[in-house]
Amino acid sequence: MIQVENKGVLGSVSLDDIKALETEGKISLAKLTDGTGAGNDFLGWVKLPQDTPEALLDDIDATAARLRQLCDVVVAIGIGGSYLGAKAVIEALSDSFAAYKNTGTKVLFAGQNIGEDYLAELKDYLADKKFGIIVISKSGTTTEPAIAFRILKEQLEAQLGREEANKRIVAVTDAKRGALRTLADTEGYKTYVIEDNVGGRFSVLTPVGLLPIAVAGFDIKALVKGAADIATATLDGKCNAAMTYAMTRNALYRSGKKIEILVNYSPKLHFFGEWWKQLYGESEGKDHKGIFPAAVDNTTDLHSMGQWIQEGERSIFETVISVAKPERELRIPSDDANLDGLNYIAGKRVDEVNKMAELGTRIAHIDGGVPNIHVTIPELSAYSLGQLIYFFEAACGISGYLLGVNPFNQPGVEAYKRNMFALLEKPGYEKETEAIRAKL
């Protein structure tokens, strides 16, 4: 199981400060298990891993195998939680240089931005490729993915004809309503359902994340099993990792630490940090409250952000993800000239040097007034990532309730959309258009 160790925070808060939140923490966990807290209509993720039917996983694997057979490239179209979870898992499990190797079906992403150059370059790349599309949207009208889907659907139909194109399009959408559901039913796309009680940022363990991950060739059953095992232990009270993390970060927040930096020492976890930022930022940043989530990739960012973290404003704390065992083994060779002075570590594994860099940095940052929470996973496997995903999801729910907010809504996300629609003169936004023009 995941291990959480918090003695690195004791210079900023005491064990008594953390323990003082235990009653609140247990009440917060009960709100998740009993469905009695704010946002309880979005708690479908809580028991999702244990309740996922084997038949659904088999069906997703079969669809993924069919897409791999038909396509050299599959473009997953989605934004926010409809993109970040799949991207995080695929990047964590992939060969770092898979993009440069002509093996297997590649999974690319679109609809996560409105970059004209990005979409034009993607169209150029796909021009001579056999490609398919996974379009992920509950409504089918979210601007960014809707634009990407319209463009790529047109290209796919032009290349293959409408009937053949439809065989290479899979829609993950609402069960009964919405523009994408209507289109999918009309065109006969293969579909999967986004349940109403699972919000986007908690959807990686649904077909939203599982289908792209399966297309990339990874074991979704192991991913779900890892999540199910820690979910059962967390909800039964046998594993207190999520509770410990939630209470510790809230004790730090109440002591004045307003920024949390998620730190990894494995470059494959970069997009996991991006997924985590959305999970916590969108869940906690409301009512003028919330820990600001940031992320760094070490040791790379020790040569950029390291100075600020070591000696900048003391409003931060770090949560460090450590991978106990890398998949590969590589030792540092000896060199007769020793001009670089590295012979003192000749024969050591690269990971041993990395682990000492991690430990040395944690000690330095703690000494410099930056509290550290240490999270250890056994390895970068589908099973361990499933655990890590559910651990952070459960801790997020507990932490949000400790903070006193609804962790499962995102009212602030709509503000930019109203302005954008008004500026684009979308029908129905005439009053907003007039109002915003008056401000310019």
Contact (CB, 8 A) for 353 and 345: yes
Contacts of residue 398, Cβ cutoff 8 Å, sequence gap at least 6: 25, 28, 29, 32, 242, 243, 246, 247
Are 212 and 75 in contact by the 8 Å Cβ rule? The answer is: no
Catalytic residue (one of 325, 417, 425, 430) = 417
Q: Is 303 a catalytic residue?
A: yes
Which residues have CB under 8 Å from 244's CB, separation 6+? 4, 6, 18
In 3D, which of 393, 103, 111, 135 has the Cα closest to residue 246?
Answer: 393
Residue 66: beta bridge partners?
none
3-state secondary structure of 170: strand
Helix-helix angle 207-215:84-93, to 10 degrees: 30
101: phi then psi, degrees, rounded to nearest 5: -110, 135
Edge-first strand listing for the sheet containing 190-193: 106-110, 73-77, 131-136, 169-173, 190-193
Structure tokens at 80: 């926010």
Q: What are phi and psi of 356, to 5 degrees?
A: -70, -35
> Catalytic: which of 91, 260, 274, 282?
282
Q: How far is CA 287 from CA 36, 113, 273, 315, 405, in A?
A: 20, 27, 24, 20, 7
Find tokens 């330095």 and name the residue.
364
Residue in 101, 288, 303, 439 annotated catalytic: 303
DSSP H/E element including 340: none
Q: Is 282 a catalytic residue?
A: yes
Q: What is the residue whose two structure tokens read 């160790």? A: 5
Question: Rounded CA gap, 173 and 37, in Å?
Answer: 26
- In single-letter form, the type of residue at position 188 comes to G
Task: Indicate the helix (H) or strand (E) that contains 379.
Answer: strand 372-379
**Which segments within 174-290 are labelled E, that is strand?**
190-193, 259-264
Provide the token pair at 91.
Answer: 């990047």
The count of other CB atoms within 10 Å of the CB of residue 36 is 11
Identify the DSSP state of 303. Answer: G
- Identify the three-state secondary structure at position 108: strand
- Active site annotation includes 268: no
- Write out the catalytic residue numbers: 282, 303, 417
